[in-house]
Amino acid sequence: MEDCVLLPEVTLAALAQTLSDRHASRQPYAKIGNVILSVNPQKPIPHLYDENHIGLYRNKGIFEVPPHIFAIADQAYRNMRNRNEDQCVLITGESGAGKTEASKIFMKYIASVTGNTEGVKKITDRLLLANPILEAFGNAKTRMNENSSRFGKYMELEFDFRGQPIGGRITTYLLEKSRVSSHSAGERSFHVFYQVLQAPSAQREEWGLTTKPADYQYLAAGEHRITSVDDGVEYKQLVKALTDLGMPASSQHNVFSIIAGVLHLGNVHFEEVSPQDLPTQTANVASANSGAAASPGSKVTALTRPALVRAAALLGSTETALESALTRRLVTDKAVKGEDMVVPLICEKAEEARDAMARAVYGRLFMWVVEWINDRISSQSTTASNSGKRPRVIGVLDIFGYECLATNGLEQFLINYCNEKLQQLFIELTLRGEQAEYAAEGVPWNFIDFVNNRDIIDLIEAKRDGIFALLDEETFMVGETSDATLLAKLNKHCIPNPHFESREKVRNDKSLDHASFRIGHYAGNVTYSAREFLDKNRDRLSLDIKRTLAASTMAILGPVFTTNIAADAQFKRPETLSAQFRTSLASLIANMLAKTPHYIRCIKPNATKIAGEFDSQLVIHQATYLGLLENIRCVRAGYCYRERADRFLYRYKALSAKTWPEWKGDTRDGIRVLLTEFGIKEGDDYIWGKTKIFIASPRTLHTLETRRNEIKNTLATKIQSTWRMYVVRKAYLATRARIVLAQSIARAWKCRTHFVHMRSAVTSIGKVFRGHVARKRLDRLRRSTLPKYAAPYLQTWWRTAKRREYLAQVAQTYKTLASNPKPWYAVELGSCRWNLQLATAMTTLYRCSEATRYLRRLRAPGRLQLEWKRIASIHLSTKEGYAASVARPFIWDRSVLTPAVEALVVAGGASIKATPSPGAATTVVMAFVCHKIRRTDFKEAERLVVLTGRDLYLLTTDPAHPTVKAHIPLDRISKISTSPFADGLVVLKADADDKGDVFLRADEHVLAFAATLWHCESLLGRGPLVPVVVAPVIALTAHKKQFLISFERGVLGDQQQMQLLRSKSKEALKSRETLASASIGDLTADHHAGEYSYSLRKKSRDELRVIVPQSGGV
């Protein structure tokens, strides 16, 4: 029988027989309503968990298919996805009942049904890879189970709104660290220790390990191998899982190095040392603290020192530091804070410190591995969760089962307390809570008695007299405390409780020794040894060991041991192990209460772990304390589903056309209408409470859910069709709008074409008509008596027509000018005889347009040259040689600016640039070699002229050592004078200069120099523009004396002269006709300047005459 609710007789024997029959037929699962009973088959069953079997349970109700973990997994997944509610699955049972395998089967189903996309498969693979890693580090062989979880595990699977997994998180509880240093006969330590011993030989040699567990003290006791398990293969699978989950090879090496270091640490032994052989500081402190007789210490034996050296290297420490941490203890004097004392440890205490260190190292390593796995599988580390909403969760609780070993310590006490709390949670949710809900809703109900373990929980966790409170009080008690004082305190406060027994309470019970107590748990009596209860509850390491491990160079150990060192140094009370466990357990229960629970009750068929054997008495015992009979009675008499009436109608209103989309009347009337359509009768299939509706049969609920899924598909199809209609209609309207637009454009074009045709026809008709009228009028005028008045009109009309014709020809000419070889400034448009000014105006307009384009294409140097040429054309166009200079640029030889000259000019405030810039006042604009005519004797001296934007320099021409002969600011030059002939003479009138004007022979640079100088003067903007005088008579001031220089064209011979004449009056000086020749004076100067020559002769004081040759040129 699959569902135990249908048992003809509800007895323990009938339940055990049903489970036995199914176990014998290789069907390990049964159910009680929605609770799955899983009997451990203790061997693989073919095809029970393959993909074909998974397909049988997909999207099926739990009552439609045979009982299986897949059925409850599918129910939890569909509830999470369809109802948008968090779910949790509680897997409970004794140790060896198959809880770990049940959780893996549950995970396998979830991974299979949640999608086959690459992203989803990657996430589910990560979740599945966490299992072999946690089993290697947290599972061990016990007498009851070959793969027993020695820690509690709660895994939350996170899903997005589509029901696809996006990550997960694992929370662990109470790792049994004591198994690292000791375990009972017939058991093993954690699997990873044995797997490391089967690593490849190269790695084992690096870690200094052999393949024999007997070579290591921590592994020598108990079993060394597990039947049908190859530790070498398991090691390879562990490495593969770590690699696939993303752990780098360096981190894997560190993890396995720590495991090997723990094994070597266990092989370290100690021998007693006399006080005289102790280190000086330790011996002195020991003597001071113990009076005259110093206490002995300990040291590592010579035989096991290689193990110490190897352990120190693998743990990232040094031999000295590790030995000091194990054989000495740093004690802080609480009377005088800050004063530390080093106390030697005897051999027994040193061995306890060694074991405590090994347990702490492994415990911290386990927590590090769990946190690393969480980082790899959490939704924050994947790209699947980007909606920003809190993901939905399915929690899977796989926690240690009820244990009763030969020797039970604090770990077993905490484990059994956890099972008591979970049993209480199951009772609250399934038995007491359900019956209380029936009573509150006013549903007729016969109360069912059940086993309640509330008294046992009160015994353990009562705030004042509970075992936990007394244990913590004794742990932090000042003074001498021991396990005996703890047991005495328990006897004092707990003996009145019927579930507590001790030798003092039951003096005739020889099975109880004086160091033990017994608690009657819901699953049976368990005897606990009070030995090491206090030490394990403190869960503390000495400060020396913490500091040594915190200083480790290992990338894993150092960070995990750096916490809480400062708190220990400040004498803060740490949280005990039992308090930590209670806090974690309370958080776990609160978390599960916020979710919809599902139950898998695991049952162990026998205590021998032999497949096929079924111990009915053991099964009956488990069924009794699990409360399975009470659960069967409650389900048979109760209702499988209950919901508030408004929520029920909201969920199922789409099933009826009368209630969809909105029911306007009373909620109960709407539900009655809806259920009547499905033939569901009130009183038989459902019943009303005060606020809720209760449905009796799961089949009824399944019918509603099936129909709802069908309606959802119909509604989804309708939504899709409506959306597709909207999309298609929107596209149709857009297409129609484009067609209408095209039609309107076509019609407009047709109308415009017709209008143009009609307008052309009307214009033609008008032309013909007006021509006809004009011809008739002309004919009348010819015949009239006033023919003379018609001539002016005809002439005006004729000239206008010809001008238009000329303009059309000009327009055509413009089109051909691009291929015209003549430059734009040489283009002359043909004349128009009917308007003489029109041709000139059109030519000027064309040249202005082309000149503007030419200027826009010019760069800065070209524009500067053009500006100088413009100035020359304005001021110097009357000088001979100007026409020939127009086509040549004004250039000068930059080689005259030697480094010495540049340094001298720069010292005066100027700068040297490749491109002259007259706008910059300190930039050299021009430099050339000229001849300065001295004002005293009118002889020539060679000078280097340097013109800047602000000053004029006259320097000697020595390239290496030039000197400044004259420095004239440009704002002092008030006039520039030169002759109209082809000479190179130029006079610069300099104001406020005692020596007078500057008289230069610039030769071929005269035009460029004069234009550039005027340009620089104009840019200064310091007054009226400087006049440029081009005249045959020039005034010259020399040493405050006034001269007139007159220029004449003539023939120069070898003895030609420039004669200096004295004028009789100022008026005569202004008239060239009154000048007369004078005889040769006392000054004679002959000048030859390349292309021209002239001579100077001085006799009188007022006038100079310059005779320029006929064929001279600049």
Q: Catalytic amino acids?
A: 95-96, 100, 145, 148-149, 401, 403
Task: Report the alpha-carbon distance of residue 698 to residue 970 in Å, rounded.
Answer: 113
Which regions of 818-950 does DSSP assign to beta strands (E)? 924-933, 940-948
Cβ–Cβ < 8 Å for 456, 485: no
Length of the chain: 1114
Instruction: Return d(Cα 342, Cα 337) in angstroms, integer.
Output: 15
Residue 48 phi, psi dihedral angles, 5° rounding: -80, -15
Interatomic CA distance for residues 1004 and 1023, integer angstroms: 30
Give the Cα separation of 238 and 104 in Å (integer).
16
Closest CA to 164 of 394, 358, 364, 494: 394
Nearest CA among 466, 393, 460 for reference residue 158: 393
Question: Do 425 and 589 contact (CB within 8 A), yes or no?
Answer: yes
> Which run of H or of E encompasses 643?
strand 641-644
Annotate 687-724 with b (16+ C-beta within 10 A) or e (fewer).
bbbeebbbbbbbebbbbbbebbeebeeeeeeeeeeeee
Query: Under the phi-then-psi rule, with left for phi > 0, alpha for psi from -120 to 50, and beta for the rest, what region is 47?
Result: left
For 332, the enclosing helix (H) or strand (E) is: strand 328-332
Using alpha carbons, select from 821, 814, 870 the residue that is nearest to residue 843.
814
Query: In terms of C-beta density within 10 A (0-12 exposed, 13-18 middle, 19 or more buried), how is residue 29 classed?
Result: buried
Question: 1098 and 1112 in contact (C-beta within 8 Å)?
Answer: no
DSSP 809-821: HHHHHHHHGGG-S
DSSP states along 1058-1087 = ------SSHHHHT-GGG-------SEEEEE
The token pair that represents 411 in the structure block: 């770990």
CB 860 within 8 A of CB 915: yes
Question: Angle at Cα 380 formed by Cα 377 and Cα 386, nearest 5°?
Answer: 125
| Distance of alpha carbon 827 from alpha carbon 164, whole angstroms | 84
The CA distance from 435 to 449, in Å, is 10
Of 884, 1020, 997, the residue nearest 947 (C-alpha): 1020
The values of phi and psi at residue 274, to 5°, are: -70, 160
Cα distances (angstroms) measured from residue 315 to each of 260, 311, 368, 695, 776? 9, 6, 15, 63, 128
Burial string for 1015-1044 (b: 16+ CB within 10 Å, else e) reads: bbbebeeeeeebebebeebbbbbbeeeebb
